[in-house]
């Protein structure tokens, strides 16, 4: 059965291997170049204290497009696995009307489903794991400057890429089994995956972010993910344009000192860098549980209904 699975999906495996090689060929040289620029900038800063405030610009100024491209591709990879491998896995059998042949060759339907899903999820986990290791290393200098928590940086390193890939694959398989057509399965997988990613991120951000009142001169801790701030008057009203001290500007020390003199305080909301691994664990757990739910649904749907 395992050899048969390989024969059926060897094209996916070969394409995945080529893609990994291509990603390694992109990330390793560029990662080494960025790391070298970072260490050179830090060394110069520690020697003469010149340019210490422009390390980020020195390291990433000439690589901004590359960084955005790599991170965009990395975010999309788990979804692509679900769309191009997971969704057609079962739906393709029904669309080609080969499911009866596949399930009557001395292999029970349950064994066929479990074996196919098992190998597909294992491949997704391996792909996500390889990508996570590469990108966690590649983002080392960026993590040192900006922190590991951020809108995109959090999603492409650590352990969450593995959970995303496994969930995307399981979701694609489940939706394909439900609709039995490849195109509707791909479309639904795309929409559901995107919506769930956004919802989980918003819910976790709201419940796990640190929210507190501080002085007007305070700032978020270094490397934290800043969700925003506002200035609150003694009566509890938020500062609005045209209010006290508007002529001084609130980004400078003079404007904030003026607000403090008027009794204002600052309300900060942020996710500290120390929360990176706890949040990674929570979000990974959520998507692994969702993936398990998709697997159980697929197994139930295909083994308790007539094909």
With H, G, I as helix, E, B as strand and everything else as coil, classify residue 243: coil
What phi, psi does 4 have (nearest 5°)?
-65, -40
Name the residue among 269, 255, 256, 258 with its Cα closest to residue 220: 269
- The token pair that represents 306 in the structure block: 């007539």
Name the residue among 120, 209, 132, 229 with its Cα closest to residue 170: 120
Residue 51: which residues within 8 A CB-CB, separation 6 or more?
Answer: 41, 44, 45, 58
pLDDT of residue 242: 77
- For residues 179 and 189, the answer to whether their CB atoms sit within 8 Å is no
Phi-psi region of 253 (alpha: psi -120 to 50; beta: other; left: phi over 0): alpha
Measured CA to CA, the distance from residue 249 to residue 253 in angstroms comes to 9
pTM for the full predicted model: 0.85
pLDDT of residue 47: 56
Phi-psi region of 226 (alpha: psi -120 to 50; beta: other; left: phi over 0): beta
- The token pair that represents 78 in the structure block: 């788990």
What length is written for the chain? 307
- For residues 189 and 82, the answer to whether their CB atoms sit within 8 Å is yes
Residue 243: which residues within 8 A CB-CB, separation 6 or more?
Answer: 233
Burial class (CB in 10 A: 0-12, 13-18, 19+), 260: middle
- For residues 206 and 121, the answer to whether their CB atoms sit within 8 Å is no
Measured CA to CA, the distance from residue 256 to residue 93 in angstroms comes to 65
pLDDT of residue 307: 47
Measured CA to CA, the distance from residue 22 to residue 267 in angstroms comes to 46
C-alpha separations of 163 from 126, 128, 169, 276, 277 in Å: 11, 8, 10, 15, 14
Name the residue among 306, 303, 307, 304 with its Cα closest to residue 109: 303
- The token pair that represents 269 in the structure block: 């909301």
pLDDT of residue 193: 95
Rg for the chain (alpha carbons), in Å? 25
With H, G, I as helix, E, B as strand and everything else as coil, classify residue 133: helix
Name the residue among 170, 151, 172 with its Cα closest to residue 162: 170
Q: How would you write the pLDDT of the chain (307 residues) with one tens digit per residue?
A: 555 555 566 666 677 778 788 888 888 888 888 888 888 777 777 655 555 656 666 666 666 777 778 888 888 888 888 888 888 888 887 776 665 555 556 667 777 788 888 889 999 999 899 999 999 999 888 888 888 888 888 889 999 999 999 999 999 999 999 998 999 999 999 999 999 998 998 888 778 888 888 888 888 888 888 888 888 888 888 888 878 888 877 778 888 888 888 888 988 888 888 889 999 999 999 999 999 999 999 999 988 865 4
Task: State the first-to-last Cα distance of the chain, in angstroms, to the nearest integer.
Answer: 21
């Amino acid at each position: 059965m395992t050899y048969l699975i390989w024969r059926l999906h060897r094209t996916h495996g070969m394409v995945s291997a080529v893609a990994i090689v291509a990603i390694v060929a992109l990330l390793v040289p560029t990662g080494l170049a960025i790391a070298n620029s970072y260490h050179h900038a830090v060394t110069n800063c520690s020697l003469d204290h010149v340019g210490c405030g422009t390390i980020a610009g020195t390291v990433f100024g000439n690589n901004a497009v590359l960084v955005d491209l790599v991170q965009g591709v990395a975010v999309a990879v788990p979804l692509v696995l679900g769309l191009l491998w997971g969704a057609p896995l079962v739906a393709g059998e029904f669309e080609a009307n080969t499911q009866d042949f596949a399930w009557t060759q001395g292999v029970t339907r349950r064994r066929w489903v479990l074996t196919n899903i098992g190998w597909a999820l294992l491949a997704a986990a391996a792909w996500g794991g390889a990508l996570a290791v590469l990108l966690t290393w590649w983002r080392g200098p960026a993590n040192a400057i900006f922190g590991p928590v951020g809108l995109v940086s959090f999603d492409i390193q650590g352990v969450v890429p593995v959970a995303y890939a496994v969930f995307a694959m399981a979701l694609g398989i489940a939706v394909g089994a439900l609709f039995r057509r490849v195109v509707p399965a791909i479309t639904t997988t795309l929409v559901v995956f995107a919506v769930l990613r956004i919802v989980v991120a918003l819910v976790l951000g709201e419940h796990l972010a640190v929210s507190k009142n501080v002085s007007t001169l305070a700032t978020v801790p270094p490397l934290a993910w800043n969700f925003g701030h506002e200035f609150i008057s003694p009566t509890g009203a938020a500062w609005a344009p045209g209010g006290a001290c508007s002529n001084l500007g609130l980004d400078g020390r003079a404007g904030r000192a003026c607000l403090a003199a008027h009794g204002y305080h600052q309300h900060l909301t942020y996710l500290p860098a120390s929360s990176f691994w706890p949040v990674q664990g929570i979000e990974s757990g959520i998507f692994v549980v969702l993936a398990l739910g998709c697997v159980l649904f697929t197994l139930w749907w295909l083994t308790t209904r007539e094909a």
